[in-house]
Structure 1
Amino acid sequence: MDSFRIRVVLADDHPGMIAGVRHELSSVSTIELVGTAGDSTALMALLAEVPCDVVVSDYAMPGGEVGDGVALFGLMRRRFPDVKLVVLTMLDNPAVLHTLVTQGVQCIVSKSDAITHLVPAIHAARTQGRYFSPSIERVVSGVDWNRRSRNPDGVLSQREAEVVRLFASGLTVNEIAERLHRSKKTISTQKAKAMEKLGVERDVDLFRYAMENGLVAPASSGGVDPAVE
C-alpha cells in the first residue's frame, strides 16, 4: 500500500485552509502531504527540492514572484512536466473555469464544496483523470464552449489577459512590467491590443470588463482572482 502513496504539495495563501486540508489528508493512507507553500515563489522552490506527484494549488495567490493563476500553472507544467495539478479555488466564474479546462486542467475543487472532494480529485489527477467538485461541475456543464466572449475578434491571448488582470487589480504599467519580467513598452502594447480587441477606449471600461468577466474578483470580496484568454 505504501508504494501507492501519492506525494502532495499544497499551495495556498490562507493558513486556515492549509490547516484544514492537512487535517483532511492526514487520515488518507494513499496520500502523503510532503510540503506546503504560501505563494508561488515558495511553491516553485519547494517543487525543486521535494519529490512530488500532485500539487494542490489555490488559483489566486498574490505576492509571489512568478505570479499566480494560469501563468503559474503554465510555468509549473514547463519546469515540472510530471507533476499533476488540482486547482482549489473560490472562483466560480464560467470564463475562468473555461480557461482552466481549455488549458488542460481537469481536476478542480471549489472551496465552497466539502473539503473531502480533494481526495478523489488528487487520485484522479495522479492517474490523469478528470474530477470537478459539485459546484464546479454545475458551472462547467452550463458553459457554452463555442461562445467567443465579449471580444469581437476572439478571446484575449493569455499574455494580454494577464496584463488586463494585473492592471485591473491596481498595478501600474511599470509594476506589471517588473512582475512579469517584460519591458514597459511590451506591457503598454499588450494593454492597448487588449483594449482594441474588446472595443473599449477608457481604462474604466477595461476595469468593468475585468470585473464582469472574472479577471478580478469584486472589491468587496477582499481578493483578486485571475483569468486568462
Structure 2
Amino acid sequence: MKPFNLRVLIADDHPAVRIGIESTLRESQAVTVVGAARDSTEMMEMLKQHDCQILVSDYAMPGGLHGDGIALFALVRQRYPRLKIVVMTMLDNPGIIHSLLDIGVPCILNKADSVSHLLPAVHAAYASGRYLSPSMAEIAARTAPHRTDTQPHAMLSKRELEVVRMFVSGLTVTEIAERLHRSKKTISTQKGSAMAKLGILRDMDLVRYGMETGLMSTSAAPPPPPPGLPALPWP
C-alpha cells in the first residue's frame, strides 16, 4: 500500500522563516516539501512545475509580479481550485481574516502563535477543514457578529465603497475628490480605511481585487459635471 504523503509548497519572503517552516513540516513523515518560493513570481512558477496539494504562504510578500495578500490568494484559488492553502501572517487585522475566509482560505495562522499549529493546519487544509491559530480564532469570533454578508466589501461604508469603485475603475484620488466634491484628504482617508478593512496593503492589489469581485466598472468613467451641477452617480 502506498504511504500517505502530502506535497507542500512553501512561500515566504524571509529566508529564515522559509527554513523554519520547512524544518517544522519535515518533522512529519507524511509531508514532503516540494519547493520554497520567496515571492509570488516564484510561487506561481513552482505551482506550474510541481504537483502539490497544499500551499503554505506568507500573507505579505512584496516584489512579485502577482502581488500578495487577498488578490494573490484569490488568483491562486481561481487557477488552482483544488489546491488547499494555509496562510501565515503577523497581521491581526479582522478584515484580512474575514476576507481570507470569504475567498475560501479557512486555515490561517498568526506567526506570533506557536509553530506547533502548523502541521495541524496543514492536515486540516487537506481535509477541507478550518483551522485558526488561537489569536486568529479569537479575532474571528469577536468580529463575526458584525458581519451580515459574505462579500468582503460588505464591511465598507457607502462612501468607502463609492471611493473604491471609482479608484479601481481608473480614477485618481484627485479626480475622485473633484467628482464627489470632497477634499483629497477625505478621499485618501476613505480609501485607506477601505483597504485596511479588506486587508489589502497596496494600490495594485486593490485594483486586482476590484477586477476579481466585479467592483471595477467596464465602461469609461463619466465626464466631470459642469460647474455648479452635482456629480453624476457612480454605479
- What is the alpha-carbon distance in structure 2 between the residues aligned to residue 129 and residue 119 of structure 1? 13
Q: TM-score, normalised by structure 2?
A: 0.71
1:36 counterpart residue number: 36
How many percent identity over aligned positions?
A: 38
Deviations 1:45-70 (A, max 9, x none): 00100110000011111100011112
1:78 deviates by: 2.0
1:173 counterpart residue number: none
Any idea what SS the aligned residue of 1:188 has?
coil
> Where does the alignment leave 5 or more consecutive residues of structure 1 unmatched?
165-185, 218-222
1:205 counterpart residue number: 189
Contact 2:40 2:66 survives alignment (8 Å): yes
Change (3 A) 1:116 1:194: farther
Contact 1:156 1:194 survives alignment (8 Å): no
**RMSD after superposition:** 3.5
> Where does the alignment leave 5 or more consecutive residues of structure 2 unmatched?
211-235
Q: Aligned pair 1:152/2:158, yes or no?
A: yes
Amino acid at match of 2:155: S
Q: TM-score, normalised by structure 1?
A: 0.73
Larger Rg: 2
Any idea what SS the aligned residue of 1:56 has?
strand
1:46 counterpart residue number: 46
Contact 1:2 1:30 survives alignment (8 Å): no
Change (3 A) 1:156 1:90: farther
- The aligned length equals 197
Deviations 1:195-225 (A, max 9, x none): 989x8743542465258647467xxxxx99x
Q: Aligned pair 1:95/2:78, yes or no?
A: no
Counterpart mapping for 1:61-100 below 5 A: 61-100=61-100
Counterpart mapping for 1:86-165 below 5 A: 86-143=86-143, 144-146=146-148, 148-152=154-158, 156=161, 160=164
